Structure 1
Amino acid sequence: MGTIKKPNPVKFFIAVLFENISVLESIIPQLEKEFGPIQWKSPIIDFTHTNYYQKIGEKLKRIFLVFQKLIDPEDLASHKVLTNQLESQTGDTHVARRINLDPGYFDGGKIILATTKNFSHRVYIGKGIYAEATIRWEKGDFRPFEYTYPDYASKEYRPSLIQIRKLYREDLSRASINESVQRSLPNI
């Protein structure tokens, strides 16, 4: 029988789809208020892989916002509920929303994304939210599953995903060093 233990913290990010840069700029302070400082913003990438989000805009862009603080993976469902609320605040009488916020995390072996939609490869994680392992880290690169979204499987996303991995490894290393130092200090 395995031992039940708490999982390692994970690197939280939000993959944002937008057309109007001012909508993105207006929501960033709200995201930082809820999730803490942004550690890194990816370059803006043209989003051309599907027209599913055409109600948001016709010339969509993607940016990854990576947050400084590592999170408990258990928090993903709550974070998705909150990002859905923030999305709805960007709408008006013409459109329901002007931005798409997809929270996710990297845990060292895979990128996990939260969604409200169930499907055969998704797992319910609470609060009406499902999670999927979207792409995995294997043999020195990110490798797609058969169901991986085409944009996440694309070469355009690879540098951003690799940067998320790099930041996570640096954060874990720093946390490990801090724990070692704290353990070596005498109790005062």
Structure 2
Amino acid sequence: MATVFRKGLDPKKIEAAIRHLNWSIDLHVNWLKYEQYGEHRNSATFVEGYDWEWDSSTCELKPVPPTVQQTKYAPRGPDPFGFPGNCYPDYQIDIDREMSKWYTQDPQKLNKAQRFLVSLLWRRVEISVYQLVYNSGNFALADEFLGAPTERMIKLLPDLRKLEQQYFTEIVIGKRPLEAFHEFVQEWWNRGGKQVTEDVNVWYKSQRR
């Protein structure tokens, strides 16, 4: 993984960012060794001073305000997107499936970090959604063809793409009227679009569970 920092950036920020990245990678691979300290893996990681602070008045954990996270630790200043959720879906589901077990356990048996996380309403909602996704097996709702080209597609699509480019270009430059789009659709269908659509529908049905 390559990391690039802006020229002139405070070296302390660079060092802190690298240490955080190293810690996050280690947590990803060797997460079990961290759980005893309350630093359970999750989409936003769980770093003292970045994600949480200890409130001595209540003897509980409290979240660090997002503005502090974004301005103090972001290499280029405020980060409007933050870090939560920036990981691949299977990893996210695996994380929340593990965390969902905490809601059925005696709170007294949870460590401080676990009690903190289960107390957050948005985490409860997020985990319940991912749990539903995991149980149903519908990790994504495909709204476009994402499969390998069929033999008919390999044969027909090059010509259909040329047809599309020709019609669209001529409509844009005014050589054909806008109404010519309907003519294009019919010609596309007759010259192989029907067969391509059939193959797409077969693939789509195979993705449903």
TM-score with structure 2 length normalisation?
Answer: 0.25
Higher helix share: 2
For the pair shown, the structure with the greater C-alpha radius of gyration is 2
Higher relative contact order (CA 8 A, sep 6+): 1
Higher strand share: 1
TM-score with structure 1 length normalisation?
Answer: 0.26
